[in-house]
């Protein structure tokens, strides 16, 4: 329904009214993300920017954590996944030991700290 509506803008009340205003969207810059969030049919939603690469073990590790802590019975909540940058020319770490080695050598840094500072 939402995707159908985005393709037909004739329902807007005036040229000054935006799609964001008409539908009361909270994050106008993330329209595609909002459509995906509202249309998701799964229990869990992992929102990630296109330039990010999650760890291959993130999904199984996350589900193991959820089940071991018995969080399926809890109210909805948000889980924050920290993000990091790696300098060009270095391979992605294969495990936590490799990650910590690159992190301690300042080859990997938290996303917020960026390398250009």
Which pLDDT value is given to residue 97?
Answer: 94
Q: Are 111 and 83 in contact (CB under 8 A)?
A: yes
pLDDT one-digit tens code per residue, 26-69: 655 567 777 777 888 877 777 777 778 888 888 898 889 888 88
Most confident of 11-20, 65-74, 105-114: 105-114
Which pLDDT value is given to residue 38?
Answer: 81
Which pLDDT value is given to residue 25?
Answer: 66
Helix (H, G, I), strand (E, B) or coil at 109: strand
Give the DSSP letter string of 60-74: HHHHHHHHHTTGGGS
Beta strands in the chain (DSSP E): 84-86, 108-110
Q: Which residue has the higher pLDDT, 85 or 35?
A: 85
Give the pair of three-digit tokens for residue 62.
């996350």
Buried b (16+ CB within 10 A) or exposed e, 35-72: beeeeeeeeeeeeeeeeeeeeeeeeeeeeeeeeeeeee
């Amino acid at each position: 329904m939402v995707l159908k509506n985005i393709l037909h803008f004739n329902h807007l009340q005036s040229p000054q009214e935006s799609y964001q205003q008409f539908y009361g969207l909270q994050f106008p810059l993330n329209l595609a993300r909002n459509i995906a969030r509202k249309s998701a049919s799964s229990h869990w939603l992992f929102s990630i920017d296109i330039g990010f690469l999650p760890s291959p073990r993130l999904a199984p590790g996350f589900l193991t954590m959820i089940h071991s802590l018995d969080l399926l019975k809890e109210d909805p909540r948000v889980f924050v996944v920290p993000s990091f940058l790696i300098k060009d020319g270095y391979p992605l770490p294969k495990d936590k030991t490799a990650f910590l080695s690159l992190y301690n050598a300042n080859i990997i840094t938290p996303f917020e700290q960026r390398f250009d500072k």
